[in-house]
Structure 1
Amino acid sequence: MLGKKRKLGKKLHDLKVGDTYTASKTVEDRDLLMYLGLSDDANPLYIQHDYASQTPFKRPVVPTVMLVGMVTSLVSMHLPGPGSHIQRQELEFDKPVYHYAEVKFTLEISGIDEAKHEVEVLVHGYDEEGAEVVKGTLTVVPPYEPESMNARSLENFY
C-alpha cells in the first residue's frame, strides 16, 4: 500500500442526494477468528455453540462491531470512498447475524451539508431471508480535493 498511488473517492461536489452503493459480505470463520484474536473478546455468545444453544439466539452470533467494520469499510472504499472519514454513527442491530451469513448492505447519500463538508449516509443491511439486521445513519466527511503540487512548487516564479 505504501508508495502506491490510490485514487481518492468522490469529493463533495461529485456527490448528490440519492447516490447509492450496494455490496454483499459473508461472515467467514477466518473473519471471526481474526476479530476475536485482535480484540481479545472471549464472549461465549460469539464462539461457544453449547452456550449459545441455551440462549434465545440458539447459535453463535456475529459481534456487532464486525458489522460496523463492514459498513465503515464500504464507506472508506466505495461511497464516498478513499479519503473519507466517519464523524458520527448511529446504528441499530435489531436482529442477530449468525456465522456464515451473507449480509447485503446498501449505503445511500441522504443529505449534503456543503458548509460543514459533510454528507449523511443511510445504512441498511439485510440477511439472506430479507430481514433487516442493521440500519442507521452516518455523518461522513468525503475526501478533500488535494492542493495542486504545481501551484506550491512554482510559487517562487510568480
Structure 2
Amino acid sequence: MLDNTPRGTICIEDIEIGMTRSLRKIISDRDIEMFAEVSTDRNPVHLDEEYAQDTRFEGRIAHGMLTASLISAVIGEQLPGHGTVYLGQSLKFMGPVRPGDMVFTEVTVTDINFPKRRVSLETKCYVDDKVVLKGEALVIAPSRKFD
C-alpha cells in the first residue's frame, strides 16, 4: 500500500523552514524480494525465515536501505520533488522493519541556502510511532529561474 500524497515539485523560491512531507507504505514480502533482486543483497536475514529466527531479530527483516529508499521517494516526489538533486544523506538505523510493517516516512526542512539552492532536511522513518531510521539529507532544489 502506498498513500496518495500529491506528487510534483516545490521550487526553492517556495520552500520554507519547517515544511514537512510524508508517505506511508506497508513493506511487503514482494518489496523485500524485489529489493534483493535489484540490489543483489540476498542476506538470508531478509529472505529466509528459518535462518532469520536464529538471529538477534528473531525473524525476517527488510533491508535497511529499502526503508531508506522511502526517504528518497519523499524527497524526489514531494519535497522538494521532481528535479531535486541529492548531495548527501546520513542514516542511523534504530530498529528493524519487518514484512507487513507500515512505515511512516517524514521529511522536514531544517535549513535553506537560497543562493546555492541547497536545502537541509531532517529525515525519519517510523513503525508504530517508534523511530526505526533517522538522518539528515542535503539536496539541491529545483528553481523556476534556472530549470
Q: TM-score, normalised by structure 1?
A: 0.83
Distance 1:57 1:16, change over 3 A: same
User: What CA distance in whole angstroms lies between the structure 2 residues aligned with 1:70 and 1:35?
Assistant: 12
Identical pairs, percent:
25
1:86 matched residue in structure 2 = 86
Displacement of 1:8 in angstroms is 5.3
State how many pairs are aligned. Answer: 141
Does residue 111 of structure 1 match 2:89?
no
Distance 1:125 1:89, change over 3 A: same
User: What CA distance in whole angstroms lies between the structure 2 residues aligned with 1:38 and 1:139?
Assistant: 25
Give the 5 Å matches for 1:1-158. 9-128=9-128, 130-145=129-144
Structure number having the greater strand percentage: 2
RMSD value, Cα = 1.7
**SS at the partner of 1:50?**
helix
Displacement of 1:100 in angstroms is 1.1
User: What CA distance in whole angstroms lies between the structure 2 residues aligned with 1:72 and 1:93?
Assistant: 16
Give the conservation status (yes or no) of the 8 Å contact 1:86–1:140: yes
Q: TM-score, normalised by structure 2?
A: 0.89
User: What CA distance in whole angstroms lies between the structure 1 residues aligned with 2:17 and 2:93?
Assistant: 25
**SS at the partner of 2:96?**
coil
User: What CA distance in whole angstroms lies between the structure 2 residues aligned with 1:98 and 1:114?
Assistant: 39
Moved over 3 A (4+): none
Q: Which runs of 5+ in 1 are unaligned?
A: 1-6, 149-158
Give the conservation status (yes or no) of the 8 Å contact 1:62–1:99: yes
Letter in 2 for 1:50: E
Give the conservation status (yes or no) of the 8 Å contact 1:62–1:98: yes
User: What CA distance in whole angstroms lies between the structure 2 residues aligned with 1:147 and 1:89?
Assistant: 24
Structure having the higher Rg: 1
Letter in 1 for 2:76: S
Q: Which runs of 5+ in 2 are unaligned?
A: 1-6
User: What CA distance in whole angstroms lies between the structure 2 residues aligned with 1:23 and 1:111?
Assistant: 21
